[in-house]
Every structure is written in C-alpha cells, then in structure tokens.
Amino acid sequence: MEQPELENLKTDIHRTLISKLDLEKLSRVNTGQARQAVAAMINEIVVAQRVPLSFDQQEKVQDDLLDEVFGLGPLEPLLNDPTISDILVNDKDHVFIERRGLLQRVNVSFRDNRHLLQIIDRIVSRVGRRVDESSPMVDARLPDGSRVNAIIPPLTLDGPALSIRRFATGPLTPTQLVELKSISAEMMETLAAAVRARISILVSGGTGAGKTTLLNILSQYVPKGERIVTIEDAAELQLAMENIVRCETRPPNIEGKGAIRQRQLLINSLRMRPDRIIIGEVRGEEAFDMLQAMNTGHEGSMTTIHANTPRDALTRLESMVAMSNLNVPERTVRQQIASAIAIVVQVSRMSDGSRKVTNISEITGMEENVVSMQEIFKFNREGIGPDGRVVGVFQPTQIRPKFLEKLHIAGIFLPQGLFEQTLEVN
C-alpha cells in the first residue's frame, strides 16, 4: 500500500477508534493497560475493514495511532530519541531536528494544519496555557522539562509552527563537560571555587550556546546548607538540591490581566530568606532588582544573559536597567554592575555544533566612567581539523584574578600554576 493510501487508512481507523473509545474509562486505568486495550481495538478495526496490510504496515499503523491517542502523534518517536536536542516544526510538512549540534530535516509530517494545532493544544493545555486566535503565541513545557514555543496563524503565514528545546533527562556532570572538551578541567576548577566562595557569576552567550546547561552544572557546587530560590520564564533549571523553591512567571489571562513577571517574582523572593537567587535568564527590568539583591546580602547569585561577548553582556545589562524607568544615573548603574558581578563566563556554539566556554573574564571595578574587565581564561580557535571539528586551545592569560583573595577568605586555595600554563588542545 502506498504512503498516501496508508495515511488515509490511518485517518479512517483513527476516526472509528475515537467514536468507540470511552475516554473517561481509559483515564481510570493505568497507561499500560489502556495501551493494550486500545491496541486490541485497533487490530479489530483493521480486521473488520479487511484492508491488505503487511505485518510491518500494520505495526506502524498501530504504533502511530497509539502515539496519537496517548502521546504527541508524529512527534512521539522524536521525543523518545535521546540524541535529538531540538525539534523544530516549521509547518505541517517541514520538520527539522538538531542532533549533536547540527540541523537536519526528518521524514515526519502531520495530516493537516488542524492535526498540528491539536498536538500544540495538547501540549499547552497540560500546563494550563492556551493557544487560539486571541492568544496566538504561547510558551509551555513538556513533563520532562523541555521548553516549548508555539505560534499560530494569523501570526504565521504557512500554518502553526512549533519549537521544542529539549533537555537531558538529568543534568550533565562537570566531568562530562570536560570530557566533551567544552571547558578545561582548570577552568571548571576555577568556576567551582568561585561558586563555593559565593562569588556572583553572569553566564553570557547566544541562543543554543549552552548557557542553561552551564548554569545547571555550576549550581551543583552550591553548598548543601544554603537555601536557593530560582526564577524563570519557562522552567529549565534542573537543580538537584533539597532546600530549593522554584518560581515561574505567569502569562496574562484571556482578559489580558493576571500576568506575573520576573521582576515581581524577584522582589517577592527577597522576602523568602534565600541565600542565593538563580535567575534562568535576565531579560528586562528585573535586572536592576537583581543587581540590588547581589549587592545586599545575596552574593553568589547567578544568571544568564544573551550576548556575544562579555563586554556586550554588560552593555545589555545597562540597557535592561534602563527599562525599569528609575532614572538612575549611568555611572551609578555601572558601579552597581561592577560591585554586584565578579565573573562573566562567555559560552559559544562553534561551527561544528560543539559548545565551548570561550572566555572567563573578571570585573575588577571602575576606571573613570567605564567598568574595567580582565580576561582570566580564553579559548584560542586555530582552525578546522580534517574531520570538520573546530581545533583550538584553552589557555590562561597569565593574569592572577583579584577574586583569589575572596577564595582565600573562604578557605579555598587554587594551585599556584593554574593561571600560567597552557591547558588543553582540542
């Protein structure tokens, strides 16, 4: 049987199946028993229709229909593949995935725009969100924590579009990050010491560069006795801690009211007795309150920001403070930044799809009206190898950071030669 005929048959069987299913009864039994019952019903319908199907075709029809009833339809096989990091649905016929940092198209499609819209609605309704013409853009998440963004007509011209940013089932370990050559062991040791010594860190990078992944890893070095409050637009952080409160923003309701922004959550978190505040990504007027928190007893707080260089990150931070409309003088803002944040970590996505920590810089204070910075470590890119992989070297700039004094006060002593030797060739 040809593919179009198989799709039509699948649609007919699905329509018949839905008319026979008692969804309320199914919801009262466990998923395994429900799947067995529905699979048996599918086989009965196929036999009753007397359609000549090969064993493989019958198995595919059954699997696809089970995914349609219990999962997310055509997306289910992609979600079950641990090597896929992103799933990007441009329209009903064009689906792309990112695997090992590289994009590629997959042979997956939806019956029509209505089918794709049903899948989107199924995702967003699980977290109490909705998507329709009055609210055509939505952020949501899957049960595994993966971030979902959907946008539908009239804002898109070719039908609904869906983007799924997936996350590993568990956070990466620092050792794994070193083994992937995303960072050197010495750079990781320095950042780990900074986290333990309550030195505030800003992680900067572009989209998909690995900012959240690095933030998850750095949070593993927070001492167990501390209380953490996390604030996110869409929950992505996976912090394996006992004393933690996770907060997430809320979009406006159908009347355009009731929205809770990151700034409101941040102000409220100060009343929750946190030792550290971790913001998934600073992106607006909450930047000023974050700097205030870091300067008033919440040292060691961390966040990420979209920027291409450490200097750009500070410029963006200034712009975000301006969004708060507090008319704070420019020099005062820069002084707040210089005293609140000690380390800026730049992460980048390379042309071969790999992610690397390309720069660790220290903010040393103010020189006249400018925030002064110095590089501690950097990644020197040397070219492309014969296998297409980026070749380069992690190396220190041979500048001893000023935050070593804070490390010594905290009882942490790094090896003497850590900031002098060439570290690792990739």
137-167 pLDDT, tens digit each = 988 878 777 888 999 999 999 999 999 988 7
Give the pLDDT band of residue 198 (cuts 50, 70, 90). Answer: very high
Residue-level pLDDT at 100: 80
Q: How many CA atoms lie within 13 A of 146 on its CB side?
A: 24
Average predicted confidence (pLDDT) for the chain: 86
Apex CA 127: angle with CA 126 and CA 132, to 5°? 80
Q: What is the pLDDT of residues 303-340, one digit of tens each?
A: 999 999 999 999 999 999 988 888 889 999 999 999 99
SS3 of 274, please?
coil
Residue-level pLDDT at 17: 67
- From the CB of residue 191, how many other CB atoms can be counted at a distance below 10 Å? 24
pTM for the full predicted model? 0.81
Distances (CA, A) of 336 to 283, 288, 328, 331, 374: 17, 9, 11, 9, 18
Partners of 346 in beta bridges: 204, 359
What is the residue whose two structure tokens read 């026979």? 20
Residue-level pLDDT at 3: 65
Nearest C-alpha neighbor of 160 from the set 122, 132, 196, 126: 132
Question: What residue ranges in 244-354 does DSSP mark as E strands?
Answer: 244-248, 276-279, 302-306, 343-349
Report how far residue 302's alpha carbon sits from residue 11's, in angstroms, rounded to the nearest whole number: 50
DSSP structure string for 305-349 = EE-SSHHHHHHHHHHHHHTT-----HHHHHHHHHHH--EEEEEEE
Give the pLDDT band of residue 258 (cuts 50, 70, 90). Answer: confident
Residue 354 has pLDDT above 60, yes or no: yes
Residue-level pLDDT at 46: 74
Apex CA 308: angle with CA 302 and CA 310, to 5°? 50
Whether cis (ω within 30° of 0) applies to the bond prior to 74 is: no
Is the model more confident about 415 or about 253?
A: 415
Pairing status of strand 302-306 against strand 276-279? parallel
| Amino acid, single-letter form, for residue 383 | G
Nearest C-alpha neighbor of 106 from the set 117, 98, 97, 116: 97
SS3 of 416, please?
helix
Residue 29 has pLDDT above 70, yes or no: no
Report how far residue 423's alpha carbon sits from residue 392's, in angstroms, rounded to the nearest whole number: 11
SS3 of 368, please?
coil
Span 179-206, average pLDDT: 94
Span 401-412, average pLDDT: 93
Residue 426 has pLDDT above 60, yes or no: no
Q: Are 66 and 35 in contact (CB under 8 A)?
A: yes
Distances (CA, A) of 374 to 117, 356, 398, 400: 50, 19, 11, 10
Nearest C-alpha neighbor of 152 from the set 135, 130, 136: 136
Nearest C-alpha neighbor of 295 from the set 198, 403, 218: 198
Report how far residue 222's alpha carbon sits from residue 300's, in angstroms, rounded to the nearest whole number: 9
Provide the token pair at 362: 């220290």
Contacting residues for 231 by C-beta, under 8 A, at least 6 apart:
247, 248, 249, 262, 265, 266, 269, 277, 278, 279, 280, 286
Residue 296 has pLDDT above 80, yes or no: yes
Q: What is the pLDDT of residues 75-101, one digit of tens each?
A: 988 988 888 989 999 999 999 999 887
Residue-level pLDDT at 45: 75
132 backbone dihedrals φ, ψ, rounded to 5°: -160, -175
SS3 of 422, please?
coil
Q: Which domains does the chain have, with CATH numbers?
A: 1-70 (no CATH), 72-166 (3.30.450.370), 174-425 (3.40.50.300)
Provide the token pair at 101: 């940092």
Sign of the Cα torsion 332, 333, 336, 337 reads: negative
Residue-level pLDDT at 48: 74
Is the model more confident about 369 or about 41?
A: 369
Nearest C-alpha neighbor of 277 from the set 259, 265, 288, 261: 265
Q: How many CA atoms lie within 13 A of 30 on its CB side?
A: 2
Give the pLDDT band of residue 59 (cuts 50, 70, 90). Answer: confident
